[in-house]
Copies of this chain bind each other. A is one copy, B any other.
Amino acid sequence: MRDLLGGKGAGVAEMTRAGLPVPPGFTITTEACNAYYKRGERFPPGMWEQVLTALQGVERKTGKGFGDPRNPLLVSVRSGAKFSMPGMMDTVLNLGLNAETLDGLAKLTGNERFAFDAYRRFIQLFSKIVLGVDGQLFEHALDQAKRQHRAATDADLSPAALGEVIDEYKAIVRKHARGEFPEDPIEQLRAAIGAVFSSWNNKRAVDYRNFNRIPHDLGTAVSVQTMVFGNMGDDSATGVAFTRDPNTGEKVLFGEYLPNAQGEDVVAGIRTPHPIADMAREMPRVYRQFDQIAKRLERHYRDIQDLEFTIERGLLYMLQTRSGKRTAAAAVKVAVDMVRERLITREEAVQRVEPAHIDQLLHRRIDPAAAIEVLATGLAASPGAAYGKAVFDADRAEEMAKAGEKVILVRIETNPDDVHGMIAAEGVLTSRGGRTSHAAVVARGMGKPCVAGAESVRVDLEKRQFTAGGRTIHEGEQFTIDGSTGNVIAGAVPMIDPEISGELEQLLRWADSIRRLEVWANGDYPHDARRAREFGAQGIGLCRTEHMFMEQDRLPIVQRMILAPTTAERRRALDELLPMQRGDFYGILKEMRGLPVVIRLIDPPLHEFLPSLEDLLVEVTRAQALGKPESEYAEQKRLLDAVRDLHEQNPMLGLRGCRLGLKFPEIIEMQVRAILEAAVQLKREKVDARPEIMIPLVGHIEELRRTRAYLETTAKQVLGAAGTRVSYRFGTMIELPRAALTAAQIAEDAEFFSFGTNDLTQTTFGFSRDDAEGKFLFQYVEDKVLPANPFETLDIPGVGRLMRAAVTEGRRTRPGLKIGICGEHGGDPASISFCEELGLEYVSCSPFRVPVARLAAAQARLAVSERDR
């Protein structure tokens, strides 16, 4: 019932049903929250009456009375959404305290200091969350009291001192909330429930949902639960724990607890907590009970559980159980282990790992051979390494990242207001907090490296610098963090590419046995091909030949070719390029022996191979202004004229792709010659080369027909001269709306289709990616004008509709037509899922995304099977 009760409420209800020790309480459903929003942030009719009835039930169970000075019932009011959003929404603790119940609590517990402290905490939290008073005012007042009373920690403040703090707090409320702090527990409860509902739509929660693609219309449940206290002395404690290590996936109880503390003290990272293992020594009986409960819950839910508990005077209370967030490595290990433990099936294991997270495992780590200067070591809070420029607040991080800088966000500790900076940063460094601190949890969720609680790092937010290992790093200086070791390292350090763990290998093999879609890779060089093969690619879906033209030793020849005044001169330059291209293709075809390699003929407009118009214009203008003799800048002038001649208003929609080939057939003739000569040579070496030749930017069947006819002649010439046969095919990109709309015709001449979804998205939307993203597209996504960036996730109603038409109609013409996708969407799990639905043969993505795509393809297959069942 997670939909209705939220994860937290459902977990508590389930634990209660199972007879586990849970403080009595009740949950207000997400439905009520949605009704609350529909009514303009007012409670739906009847809800409040039901709350009061449920509250009476809790009073009965606990024998306590809400607002009863003699035996006061105190409750927590917590948010709880269907999908966990740790720390994003608000919680109020100790609700029900006022001047009268405070006395009752003090007497009942015989611990006046505890009662005053609870009241102090309640006022602080309630005022901040429900009344909207700036939390720093209270922190400041507390700090002053501590200084005044020479108290090192809160615990050192006497009840009297706490009483003064409480008076001061109330004065703050009076001043900043323009009214008295509410003494009536019923009024407190009503206001707190409203505030928790409202926290569903606070900025950080909305940001978090956007980042994690959680729908905004789910709403939050509100759990009202009897308070239990972990801060009632040394036989009390509070803690959080995972049933397995969420970083590594190892099957050990993992977590932290703090004696004599309330839950927020652990999460906030204010005091450094003890490892959970210490509990076995310090509270052996409770530890055994807890360990058993943890095992039972994991078996019940068949997944890692993230548990919150409190020990009140030696009695264990379970406050929460939920599916535990974990690193990619842990997710993989746990999924594989649980199959081996017969807890889950292989299909479930494959579905348990978020494909995007696999990406983490494939991120860089620091080259072990590199000499590094470790400045400090903190907690290895989220694995992976990253370097970037130091930046000390979230806004600045976002700003610099938008300007294209790589940054590392450095904070003393983070809180939910820092999330947008964490999204922007390469990684996070904090000087305080544990592995379950906000920074650690959020960074792991994002798959970003994080070093937390690096206490020897002295962060100076004012001066925008930090000091560690005797060095000072100022804002904008580069440094490195390694979230796998906790190291903070000077400078930008050489990194190496990751390997795939045994468990990941296993998981991907299971995925391979499930999926129908092949996974190919885009790669232009033999080393790309090698990596792609290592990662499991089953072919090269896009080998861009123009990158080869850009290499330094070739560019002058390419330029000579472009500037040639006659076809004969152009041919001479092409003759020089031929052996080079042949070598390129030889390398990649050899590396991919036995697998198809789709080679795309030259695509970009020719001016891309020449210097920029602006640079040339400045050079020539300057030379002219300075009255230099024309001979000194004649070359630049000639180039300028040529570039002007090739200049286009909208080069994306200009002379490129097959249009270029139809205008200068000698260029693509050379390329086809190079491809087939390389294949012939490999055949002689008994290597199975499988070139497929792809003609780009076809919009009309006649473009394809003529280009292909021309190139078939070349192919026959090459093979005739060699006296041998090599298998090859001609196909086309489907990257223009018109190509998709006339696919039935185009399939007459195309032996395969490959969706170029980058260009197809550009033309379908009329977005030039280069221009659109910075100028308005990111803003569109942020403002939710568009549900997602269509260059990252396929736009199904528009681009997808064209693809569907092309698949259906292309195959009607040519049954069995092989169709793949080679745009960047080929590595995006949501888009892969659509490709599975369309029945494509393969997706092609960057080599590093191949494992992600293998897993996503398997999940897509399982989803389709489930739907069809």
Main secondary structure of the interface of A (DSSP, over half): helix
In the complex formed, the residue of B with least CB distance to A770 is B649
Contact of A785 among B652, B655, B700, B736 (CB under 8 A): B700
CB 8 Å contact bits of A767-784 with B (1 = contact, 0 = none): 110111001100110001
A653/B762 in contact, CB under 8 A: yes
Report the minimum CB–CB distance from A404 to chain B (whole Å).
15
A651/B654 in contact, CB under 8 A: no
Contact of A655 among B653, B654, B775, B797 (CB under 8 A): B775
A216 at the binding interface (Cβ < 8 Å): no
> How far apart are the CA atoms of A653 and B706 in the complex, in Å?
29
Chain A residues numbered 610-626 whose CB sits less than 8 Å from any CB in chain B = 613-614, 617-618, 621-622, 624-626
Which B residues lie within 8 Å of A768 (CB)? 648-654
Which B residues lie within 8 Å of A775 (CB)? 648, 654-655, 659, 663
A232 at the binding interface (Cβ < 8 Å): no
Given contacts A622-B625, A741-B802, A765-B738, contact A771 B655 (CB under 8 A): yes
A786 at the binding interface (Cβ < 8 Å): yes
A697 at the binding interface (Cβ < 8 Å): yes
> How far apart are the CA atoms of A697 and B767 in the complex, in Å?
11
CB 8 Å contact bits of A787-804 with B (1 = contact, 0 = none): 000000001011101100
Report the minimum CB–CB distance from A263 to chain B (whole Å).
41
In the complex formed, the residue of B with least CB distance to A645 is B775
In the complex formed, the residue of B with least CB distance to A647 is B771
Which B residues lie within 8 Å of A624 (CB)? 622
Which B residues lie within 8 Å of A653 (CB)? 650, 652-653, 762-763, 766-768, 771-772
A764 at the binding interface (Cβ < 8 Å): yes
B649/A699 in contact, CB under 8 A: no
Given contacts A655-B775, A742-B797, A785-B662, contact A650 B618 (CB under 8 A): no
Contact of A659 among B617, B759, B776, B797 (CB under 8 A): B776
> How far apart are the CA atoms of A438 and B385 in the complex, in Å?
81
Given contacts A699-B798, A702-B784, A736-B765, contact A648 B741 (CB under 8 A): no
A703 at the binding interface (Cβ < 8 Å): yes
Report the minimum CB–CB distance from A267 to chain B (whole Å).
37
A737 at the binding interface (Cβ < 8 Å): yes
Task: Identify which of A762, A771, A784 gathers the most chain B CB atoms within 10 Å of its CB.
Answer: A771
> How far apart are the CA atoms of A742 and B624 in the complex, in Å?
54
A795/B649 in contact, CB under 8 A: no
Which B residues lie within 8 Å of A801 (CB)? 741
Which B residues lie within 8 Å of A784 (CB)? 702
> How far apart are the CA atoms of A649 and B622 in the complex, in Å?
25
Which B residues lie within 8 Å of A767 (CB)? 653, 699
> How far apart are the CA atoms of A760 and B741 in the complex, in Å?
13
Which B residues lie within 8 Å of A762 (CB)? 653
CB 8 Å contact bits of A732-772 with B (1 = contact, 0 = none): 00011110011001000000000000010011111110111
Which B residues lie within 8 Å of A770 (CB)? 648-650
Report the minimum CB–CB distance from A343 to chain B (whole Å).
44
B771/A766 in contact, CB under 8 A: no
In the complex formed, the residue of B with least CB distance to A767 is B653
Which B residues lie within 8 Å of A703 (CB)? 785
Which B residues lie within 8 Å of A797 (CB)? 738, 741-742, 745
CB 8 Å contact bits of A272-315 with B (1 = contact, 0 = none): 00000000000000000000000000000000000000000000
> How far apart are the CA atoms of A783 and B652 in the complex, in Å?
23
A654/B772 in contact, CB under 8 A: yes
A798/B652 in contact, CB under 8 A: no
Which B residues lie within 8 Å of A735 (CB)? 766
Listed by A's residue number, 19 A-B pairs whose Cβ atoms lie within 8 Å are A617-B617, A625-B625, A649-B768, A650-B770, A651-B768, A652-B768, A653-B766, A653-B768, A654-B768, A654-B771, A655-B775, A662-B785, A697-B766, A699-B764, A706-B785, A736-B764, A736-B766, A737-B764, A741-B798
